[in-house]
Chains A and B, each alone.
Chain A
């Protein structure tokens, strides 16, 4: 019994800092619909700043924490005014792309500023000891954290309900148009809310110091948990964030007792369970879902493509083919990787651009394709059937998943896709008997002549070209038009008896199969398959390719896949600080060309 009580208190202590980060994230999303991927980075910077103040400048911990919060608020203002403000008119995912660029930059800058070594956080003066509860010792700082959560929630409640600023924030969260109609300066409001959110994250980071070790990848650990908490609680709801943080922390505190190996999967199982029962989170409301901004992909010309376009396509194909015979082995290897990224990015673009279904977990299908092919191959199947098995597995999984989520939209759908991919990641990681665990499946080398760079390049080129031709056909067929119609006016489409749900499920199946093709090709290019294929960075890569290429152009993902894949490969041979360079380029492009590298020509008329 006493164990249960202590463990419950442990959980609550962990919940507090999670809540601080999640509260800021939720607030920002609620008002400005910005998915701030850099929120974990702000948390980390808050912790580092507090450490600098304490360790280097001798500031007292209790003063350093609020000072760090002020510093991150200023950082927030810089980010909002300098970057995000330019992006609000564009696609809802643009801020995600830009903040991801920030994360990359921070990944290199933080070790340069604060060093690469782990730093054990300073303790909080006055709260270094432990208190005895029922014969067990609980660090007194944990007790402080347990009390802090409700205090911050209460303070936020007062701010939101008893001040003019709070009323404006709530109005904007519930109805943006009306807030604008009331004459509220939207730009000031967004900046203020972003600063407040960042201050909370910075405070969370500083207050976590006595329990945390500082290192440069603290941000990615925090951001995923924080997102999960926000989604479980309901985007925009502070109470929801509080309750969800408590649930997540408690379930994991007791979960490790019952199922110690389950630490990888636990968080996402909770989220998936909650979203299946309550698709808008515990305290979220359906009405709070973001108003959809259709992308308006252009129609193919009714009279067919002009001869010039056909000639250009043929020219590119011929050049790529010739390159297969002329390119150096290493150049071929890079080109193969860029080609392999194409069906993956095209599939994600099909979901986001055409079907209006945002996915944060497209890597799920990349991994399924790779593992399906790898397992079939190691079981003794020849290459072609093994690859087919991978593609089919990913396609069927895509269709089945699509059928489950066909009515879901927005960030909640995105988070379910994330949960799906993370659960598969955990399975690939944990099910050592089948998948080899994190050591992966090795020895996936094709037979000659496909085992040469030229051989695999030419096969990849042929399969990707076939895939492109098939997808282009689909886009020009009613299937593509039904998806676009449903994005433009879903109620209209249903009233016109268009098979909207069927088309969406099919889109998931095709996107899955495309990613599966990429996965299978990748496995045999690399000779191996690893759980990292299922992991979040792969999904993010896909999003970056799609957004970078231009979401409003059917060929956008092609450009994005090629540019990003080659860019990373080249820059990473030039400098160990390639994250910073790539992140900086992403930031620049997001601000300078928010539509992406390719933007459709518009005949006129407003969006």
Chain B
């Protein structure tokens, strides 16, 4: 950032500069927790940067205009995200908003999008409320939701003989709705199971020893885990040391994503049933091309965030091309039912509830050459587990569809 552009920003901020003329590139505003959760969002950023470069190398969007993504940090708070959204829409003149990681930030931006009549492509937040109870006409969500991920795991859990289950989840909406979904779906499939213990550590504040001991005390047959990131590492280490996982199946949300699996390294627990992203084992040509391009460009391995970021940019470009314009109503129409080819197959934004059919990989964790890997995995398409269109529609608030 040189002095001149800094001054320009300052001037524009003070409202002195004339509104910028619609520049040549098509601008998309991207908001994410870059400073708060860099572990996930930096690979995500790499992902969309790669996609944007590839799209522009092929001639851009809308018949020759370059695609530009303007990113802003939300510091993990809805308040700052909304300031950024305002800035992107009102000063940068972006045609579409995208991004967000935390669910509450995503919901705040979705609400803003509906109010200001801008399309919002929520890439990462997982909350079901995004497209269902708080769903709105302007918001579309890419990543498989909490519901999708837990539904996949609940189906696996139902196959286990275990009857007494314990749960551990971070104490916020994501953890709460994951446990709720899991309980409901598992109970429906297996009325004989009971839930004997639950632990709700505050996010990133897991007091691992006592928590593991409290779970052990309940003598469950199996455990459903929703903790991730630093909480997950601590949980794994303490649980392994104290024998919590010995002869006990663990069903664990997102643990197979390299973002969380790689840090575990040699301490990766074996045989956990997880959702994740076995990036080095998916050998379709499209995916291999993505991985090699990513590695060539950034000299590191892709993570879950990389794929989501890449797909976000692809989806945005596909929507623009299908709409044939940058106007909000056209983009809304284009996104409803839009299908595009991702490195891992075709993804469709369902017209009924604006949820994409991007799926998740389910498999088992294993230790291969001292590194955590997913084995015995298979891809479950989101369409397979999502409720049908009519049911999904009923989950959304009336009048906002």
Contacts and interface: CB of A to CB of B under 8 A. Distances in A.
Nearest to B211: A256
B108 A528 contact: yes
A492 interface: no
Given A7-B214, A136-B242, A439-B127, A576 B35 contact: yes
A263 B82 CA distance: 29
Interface stretch (B71-79, B156-164, B315-323): B71-79
A572 B87 CA distance: 11
B263 A118 contact: yes
B104 A256 contact: no
A423 to B, nearest CB: 14
> Top 8 closest A-B pairs, CB basis?
A331-B15, A116-B38, A213-B230, A327-B15, A253-B210, A330-B90, A10-B209, A213-B233
Interface in A415-442: 429-430, 432, 437-440, 442
Contacts of A212: 230, 234
Contacts of A216: 38
A532 B34 CA distance: 18
A6 B238 CA distance: 14
A570 B207 contact: no
Contact of A263 (B202, B229, B241): B202
A261 B198 CA distance: 9
A579 B9 contact: no
B83 A569 contact: yes
Given A120-B264, A260-B199, A570-B13, A138 B86 contact: no
A330 B93 CA distance: 11
B204 interface: yes
Contacts of A577: 35
A430 B200 CA distance: 11
Contacts of B229: 118, 213, 215
25 contacts: A3-B217, A13-B209, A120-B264, A211-B238, A215-B39, A215-B229, A253-B207, A253-B209, A253-B210, A254-B210, A257-B217, A326-B15, A327-B14, A330-B90, A437-B172, A438-B173, A439-B107, A453-B90, A527-B108, A527-B112, A528-B82, A528-B111, A532-B104, A569-B13, A569-B83
B91 interface: yes
Given A3-B213, A137-B241, A118 B233 contact: yes
Contacts of A261: 171, 200
B230 to A, nearest CB: 4
Contacts of B208: 211
A491 B194 CA distance: 65
Interface string B56-83: 0000000000000001110101111011
A120 B265 contact: yes
A442 B10 CA distance: 31
Interface of B: 1, 6, 9-10, 12-15, 19, 34-36, 38-39, 42, 71-73, 75, 77-80, 82-84, 86-87, 90-91, 103-104, 107-108, 111-112, 115, 127, 129, 134, 171-173, 176, 198-202, 204-205, 207-211, 213-214, 216-217, 229-231, 233-234, 237-238, 241-243, 259-260, 262-265, 267
Interface string A188-224: 0000000000000000000000011111110001000
B13 to A, nearest CB: 5
Contacts, number: 223
A267 to B, nearest CB: 9
B300 to A, nearest CB: 10
Interface in A124-139: 129-130, 136-139
A252 B216 contact: no
B164 to A, nearest CB: 17
A290 interface: no
Contacts of A330: 12-13, 15, 86-87, 90-91
Given A111-B38, A215-B229, A439-B129, A139 B241 contact: yes
Contacts of B267: 120
Given A120-B264, A530-B104, A264 B13 contact: no
Contacts of A579: 35, 75
Contacts of B234: 211-213
Nearest to A568: B80
A16 B73 CA distance: 36
Nearest to A120: B233
Interface string A305-334: 000000000000000000100111111111
A570 B13 CA distance: 7
Contacts of B103: 438-439
Nearest to B167: A260
A29 interface: no
Contacts of A570: 9-10, 13
A430 B171 CA distance: 9
